[in-house]
Structure 1
Amino acid sequence: MDPDHPGCRVFVTSHLQDVHETFHLVGEAGGTFSAKKTFICVPEVETLGSKCTYEGRFPDDSTVQKIRDWP
């Protein structure tokens, strides 16, 4: 557990600090984020033909099916 944040594991607070720093650096460089396209704290997200979960990154089922159905 993180002594500064009781009830929260250290790797969670460390990850959140990394995400915060990344967002800050992107903002300083003039980059922006689309709130509509941003997924935060979700159990699963599909992106670029992959399904990302807490278990890892896997090929998107629809992409795999398209490859299998290739003539």
Structure 2
Amino acid sequence: VFANKICVHTIISIISNERFGVYSLYKEAKEIWDSVITGYTTKHLEMIEDKDIKVQINESHKLLEDFKS
């Protein structure tokens, strides 16, 4: 319980003011983290019609690798 409070506080303290209202409603750090990751990957993994598909796939793989590290 204490570790969760520390994690929630840490995450909440580093997010932007515009996102604070969204993430401050969560009680569990894992919920916040999962929501942030889902939102970030969804936003950054969109395919662009005019861009080479191989380039987009490589960029997506790099983004996912960055999350793992």
Q: Could you state the TM-score of these two structures normalised by the residue count of structure 2? A: 0.33
Greater share of residues in helix = 2
Q: Who wins on radius of gyration, i.e. which is larger?
A: 1
Quick check: which one's strand share is greater? 1
TM-score by length of 1: 0.33
Higher relative contact order structure (alpha carbons within 8 Å, sequence separation ≥ 6):
2
